Amino acid sequence: MTIAVASGKGGTGKTLVATSLAWLLSRESDTLLLDLDVEEPNAHLFFDAQLVNSELVTGMIPVIEEEFCTHCGLCQRVCAYHALLVLPDQVLVFPELCKSCNGCLALCPEGAIISGKKSIGVVEYREAGRLRLYSGRLDIGATDAPSLIRALKSHARDALGHVLLDAPPGTACPAVEAVRSADLTVLVAESTPFGLHDLDLMVRTMRKLHQAFVVVINKAVPHDDSLHEYCAREGIRLLAEIPYREDIARSCARGHLLPEALPETLPLFERILDGILHAEEVRA
């Protein structure tokens, strides 16, 4: 089963939930964790894991063969990201704006564009017991997170056992790329007005994508029912609540695995895992 852990808002506890579940699963079976938060990868900090190898990930950029170019401007008009500027005597390429869509390459009537490469980031591979962990690290200034996320997800093809995806925050392309291949997504929400607002954005995104999801509340405070009311109103299953507690925050800040560091939280995560593995939301 492929399980994504996502949220609209950042800092709600995606990595806390993803690493705790990965640790729990890996105690009994081969488990793969992909840290898809490529702008801020941190899942590896929670494991005593050895770096096994790292690979460079590249994206396509157009290279103009000036001797064939007629400066017709078609490539510039089809580029949604303004990565090409066609002047009467030359074509300028802005690699940092290019999203490697291949549109210009496919449509150039003169065949004057060939495929070049730019670095977009690295994929690091680590092992800790039965856990295999891949993390993506986007180059500074690079914008093409989805391509790096796809490179990370390619490692899940031959995976044995369950796959956990620690998604990037937000509801934009990187988050969509992360959750679109999951069987079930766990949305981690926090008990704040901002948390509720961004959960709603993510719920609407998930529905547009026709993706199955459940909600876990993190940093739950007593006397705040806003998330419960929201989930009840929207017909969303609330799997569990992780309480708002200083010792939990401390454990997380120190890079400890919560159910290992605070064993009294173990039943909570076992319940979350059980709810995921037997979720009726998952389509057959």
Nearest to 86 by CA among 101, 69, 107: 69
For residues 32 and 34, give the distance between their C-alpha atoms in angstroms, rounded to a whole number. 7
Smallest distance, another protein to C-beta of residue 65, A: 18
Number of residues that bind another protein (CB under 8 A): 15
Buried-state track 178-214, b at ≥16 Cβ within 10 A, e below 16:
bbeebbbbbbbbbbbeebbebbeebbebbeeeebbbb
Q: 60-89: which residues touch another protein (CB under 8 A)? A: 76, 81-88
Q: 174-213: which residues touch another protein (CB under 8 A)? A: none
Return the number of the residue (120 or 252) whose C-beta is nearest another protein. Answer: 120
Give me 244's structure tokens. 């708002």
Smallest distance, another protein to C-beta of residue 41, A: 23
Q: Using the rule CB under 8 A, which residue among 54, 58, 143, 226 binds another protein?
A: 143
Return the number of the residue (60 or 248) whose C-beta is nearest another protein. Answer: 60
Smallest distance, another protein to C-beta of residue 37, A: 21
Are 197 and 213 spatial neighbours (Cβ–Cβ below 8 Å)? no
Q: Using the rule CB under 8 A, which residue among 97, 101, 156, 266 binds another protein?
A: 97
Instruction: State yes or no: residue 94 binds another protein (CB under 8 A).
Output: yes
Give me 246's structure tokens. 């200083």
Q: Where are the beta strands (DSSP E) in 36-107?
A: 50-64, 84-86, 91-93
* Amino acid occupying residue 104: C
Buried-state track 20-44, b at ≥16 Cβ within 10 A, e below 16:
bbbbbbbeeeebbbbbbbbbebebb
Return the number of the residue (5 or 79) whose C-beta is nearest another protein. Answer: 79
Smallest distance, another protein to C-beta of residue 224, A: 35
Q: Using the rule CB under 8 A, which residue among 51, 52, 72, 92 binds another protein?
A: 92
Smallest distance, another protein to C-beta of residue 85, A: 5
> In angstroms, what CA-CA distances link 205 with 3, 104, 226, 270?
17, 29, 20, 28
Return the number of the residue (91 or 149) whose C-beta is nearest another protein. Answer: 91
Smallest distance, another protein to C-beta of residue 82, A: 3
Instruction: Select the span of 53-61, 91-99, 178-186, 224-232 touching another protein (CB under 8 A).
Output: 91-99
DSSP character at residue 81: T
> Which parts of this chain interact with another protein (CB under 8 A)?
76, 81-88, 90, 92, 94, 96-97, 143
